[in-house]
């Protein structure tokens, strides 16, 4: 039996409860641990309430550093189109009031490292802290992914812009997480490359390797050898008009990437894959005759003239000009599929080119074949096909970038019905691209030997941005997770659900993606 006294205690309790609910009606209970973040963070601690992003908020950055102000501006610009909020960026030296976002750099270094971050969301404040500015950019991507998907819309949407509360602590497993774009077989202009950079940024990729020259086209202006682009850049696979980046345009791409803490690695492929150069300058050929421009898709038929001294003057000029406009530490020299360069020529050529790269204070990267040469300290081998080459590299103490064609090649078709792409290495469905561990993929190559992973997109069959997106999505988020999240945190059955939820984000970002049947797409279930 309930007594009157118990009854009034009960009523008082009910009253307090109601008042509580009403006073924080804004703070809808939400579970941060249920959010679909890709790549998967190291740790998420949920506190089961919410923060509401509202008109009038500011982004505060701790201290006066211009770099932090720029990151604040980047965040403000990212949130503007869909919320319609004019967000001010202000510097401060103390924690701001309720409703704001606070970006800080730690006073002393913590376990977060170069790219780690800690995101703390309370009912009152979003604070993002990192040891280094790059960590803030990575953390901002997490913040975007825990906002409603329509935050990515290019037009103003209705809120509420609720974010689940809690703490995310996060840092990458590998320091190098790359993507490659072949702009030689088909040329892609500056705007396409910038869009590609934006899509990479969203998944915390930190390297864009540009394949700038091949048989079909030379795509970067070299002022001391102008015909490379005026002639060598004038066509592409299929005979279209091709194109190239002026050095100013290239610098613009580099700057755009830099603002997102992505490095650009330029590749000049040699001694093979050089027909565009050989067609532009007769003197680069052993017989002194220029070749014809090439618009087909064969590989392995061209070579620079290894015995001519002029070849090395050419390489030195190209690398010198490229190094001067490339702030990142690497220059990629290709070195793959030089089928018409005898090994006794190939080895001294690579050795000499390596010295040229070093003389311009850059680190050389080459496809796995370069391991036949004598690698200097710090040179990097990019494994794509032959495990024995990669092992040769490791035996010379080189670090390896893992790009196994059977897992990471974005030009490989998903299955036999895919319209674009090739399948010489494999058909690569979304699960296959995700289910592998770089550190155990090649026997004899362990985590200590590995710099990171990279997913290349060759474009013999890819002609426009829509097609790039179709081949890249949804495999790229998986590669990003393989590079960022530790192997024991990765599980396909759990990942595919998170990926399925990104469909709404792909839609808001306007991404043309392949709707693999293996993924439970959330926009199919509505």
Which residues are catalytic, by number?
Answer: 337
The H or E element that residue 495 is part of is: helix 492-501
Q: Is 458 in the site for ligand TNX (CB under 6 A)?
A: yes
Cα separation, 437 vs 170, in Å, equals: 20
Closer to ligand TNX at the Cβ: 102 or 414? 414
- Position 336 contacts ligand TNX (CB under 6 A): yes
Residue 295 near residue 333 (C-beta atoms within 8 A):
no
Please provide the DSSP assignment of 52-68 as one string.
EE-TT-EEEEESS-HHH
For the CB of residue 460, give the shortest distance to ligand TNX in the complex, in Å. 6
Closest separation in Å from C-beta 398 to ligand TNX: 16
Identify which of residues 85 and 187 has a Cβ nearer to ligand TNX in the complex: 187
Three-state SS sequence of 391-439: HHHHHCCCEEEECCHHHHCCCECCCCCCCCCECCCCCCCHHHHHCCCHH
Residue 384 binds ligand TNX, judged by CB under 6 A:
yes
Q: Cβ 30 to ligand TNX, closest distance in Å?
A: 44
67, 114, 198, 337: which one binds ligand TNX (CB under 6 A): 337
Beta strands per DSSP E along 212-324: 213-214, 217-218, 263-270
> Least distance (Å) from ligand TNX to the CB of residue 421?
8
Query: Which one, 301 or 492, has the nearer CB to ligand TNX?
Result: 301
Q: How far is the CB of 144 from ligand TNX (least distance, A)?
A: 32
Peptide bond into 2 cis (omega under 30): no
Closest CB to ligand TNX among 201 and 413? 413
3-state SS assignment for residue 177: strand
Query: Looking at beta carbons only, is 130 or 371 nearer to ligand TNX?
Result: 371
The answer to whether 454 contacts ligand TNX (rule: CB under 6 A) is: no
- Footprint on residues 18-77 left by ligand TNX (CB under 6 A): none
Name the residue nearer to ligand TNX (CB basis): 422 or 522: 422
How many residues bind ligand TNX, per CB under 6 A?
10
Closest separation in Å from C-beta 446 to ligand TNX: 23
Chain residues 94-123 in contact with ligand TNX, contact rule CB under 6 A: none
Q: Shortest distance, CB of residue 507 to ligand TNX, whole angstroms?
A: 29
- Taking each helix axis from N to C end, the angle separating 475-484 and 492-501, rounded to the nearest 10 degrees, works out to 130
Binding mask 416-435 for ligand TNX (x = CB under 6 A): ------x-------------
Compute the half-sphere exposure of residue 141: CA atoms within 13 Å on the CB side of its CA: 27
What Rg, from alpha-carbon coordinates, does the chain have?
26
Q: Whose Cβ is closer to ligand TNX: residue 204's or residue 209's?
A: 209
Write down the least CB distance from residue 334 to ligand TNX, Å. 7
299 interacts with ligand TNX by CB under 6 A: yes
Measure the CA dihedral 402/406/407/411, to 10°.
Answer: 100
Considering only residues 388-417, where is the footprint of ligand TNX by CB under 6 A? Answer: 409, 411
The answer to whether the beta carbons of residues 398 and 387 sit under 8 Å apart is: no
Distance linking the first and last C-alpha atoms of the chain: 48
3-class SS letters over 307-376:
CCHHHHHHHHHHHHHHHHCCCCCEEEEECCCCCCCCHHHHHHHHHHHHHHHHHCCCEEEEEHHHHHCCCC
Q: How far is CA 74 from CA 66, 142, 191, 252, in A?
A: 12, 14, 18, 16
Rule CB under 6 A: is residue 267 a binding residue for ligand TNX? no
Q: Which helix (H) or strand (E) holds 447?
A: none
Q: With CA atoms as reference, report the closest residue to 266 among 240, 297, 244.
A: 244
Complex with ligand TNX: residue 316 or 467, whichever CB lies closer:
467
Positive/negative CA dihedral, 34, 40, 45, 51:
negative
* Contact footprint for ligand TNX (CB under 6 A): 299, 336-337, 367, 384, 409, 411, 422, 458, 460
């Amino acid at each position: 039996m309930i007594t009157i006294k118990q009854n009034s205690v009960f009523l008082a309790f009910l009253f307090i409860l109601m008042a509580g609910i009403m006073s924080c009606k804004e703070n809808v209970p939400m579970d941060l641990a249920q959010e679909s973040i890709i790549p998967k963070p190291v740790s998420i601690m949920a506190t089961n309430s919410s923060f509401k992003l509202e008109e009038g908020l500011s982004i505060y950055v701790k201290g006066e550093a211009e770099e932090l102000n720029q990151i604040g501006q980047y965040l403000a610009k990212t949130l503007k189109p869909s919320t319609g909020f004019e967000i001010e960026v202000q510097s401060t030296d103390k924690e701001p009031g309720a409703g704001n976002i606070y970006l800080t750099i730690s006073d002393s270094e913590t376990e977060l490292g170069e790219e780690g971050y800690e995101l703390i969301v309370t009912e009152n404040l979003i604070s993002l802290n990192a040891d280094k500015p790059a960590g803030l950019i990575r953390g901002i991507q997490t913040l975007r992914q825990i906002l409603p998907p329509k935050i990515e819309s290019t037009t103003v949407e209705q809120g509420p812009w609720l974010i689940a509360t809690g703490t995310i602590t996060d840092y990458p497993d590998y320091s190098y997480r790359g993507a490659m774009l072949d702009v030689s077989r088909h040329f892609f202009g500056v705007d396409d490359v910038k869009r590609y950079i934006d899509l990479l940024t969203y998944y915390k990729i930190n390297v864009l390797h540009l394949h700038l020259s091949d048989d079909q086209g030379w795509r970067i202006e070299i002022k001391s050898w102008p015909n490379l682009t005026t002639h060598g850049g004038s066509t592409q696979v299929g005979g279209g008009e091709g194109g190239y980046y002026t050095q100013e345009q290239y610098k613009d791409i580099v700057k755009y990437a830099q603002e997102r803490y992505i490095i650009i690695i330029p590749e000049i492929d040699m001694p093979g894959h050089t027909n565009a150069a050989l067609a532009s300058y007769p003197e680069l050929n052993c017989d002194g005759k220029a070749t014809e421009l090439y618009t087909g898709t064969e590989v392995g038929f061209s070579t620079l003239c290894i015995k001519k001294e002029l070849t090395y003057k050419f390489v030195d000029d190209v690398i010198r000009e490229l190094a001067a406009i490339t702030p990142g530490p690497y220059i990629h020299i290709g070195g793959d599929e030089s089928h018409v360069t005898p090994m006794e020529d190939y080895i001294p050529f690579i050795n000499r080119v390596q010295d040229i790269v070093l003389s311009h204070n850059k680190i050389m990267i080459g496809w796995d074949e370069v391991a036949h040469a004598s690698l200097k300290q710090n040179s990097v081998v990019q494994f794509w096909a032959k495990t024995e080459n990669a092992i040769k590299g490791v035996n010379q103490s080189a670090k390896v970038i893992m790009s196994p064609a059977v897992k990471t090649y974005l030009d490989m078709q998903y299955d036999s019905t895919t319209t674009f792409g090739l399948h010489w290495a494999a058909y690569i469905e979304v699960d296959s691209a995700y289910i592998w561990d770089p550190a155990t993929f090649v026997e004899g190559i362990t985590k200590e030997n590995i710099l990171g992973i990279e997913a290349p997109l060759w474009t013999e069959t890819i002609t426009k941005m829509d097609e790039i997106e179709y081949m890249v999505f949804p495999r790229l988020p998986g590669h990003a997770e393989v590079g960022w999240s530790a192997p024991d945190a990765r599980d396909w059955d759990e990942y595919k659900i998170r990926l399925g939820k990104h469909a709404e984000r792909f839609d808001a970002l306007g991404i043309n993606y392949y709707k693999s049947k293996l993924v439970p797409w959330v926009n199919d279930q509505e």
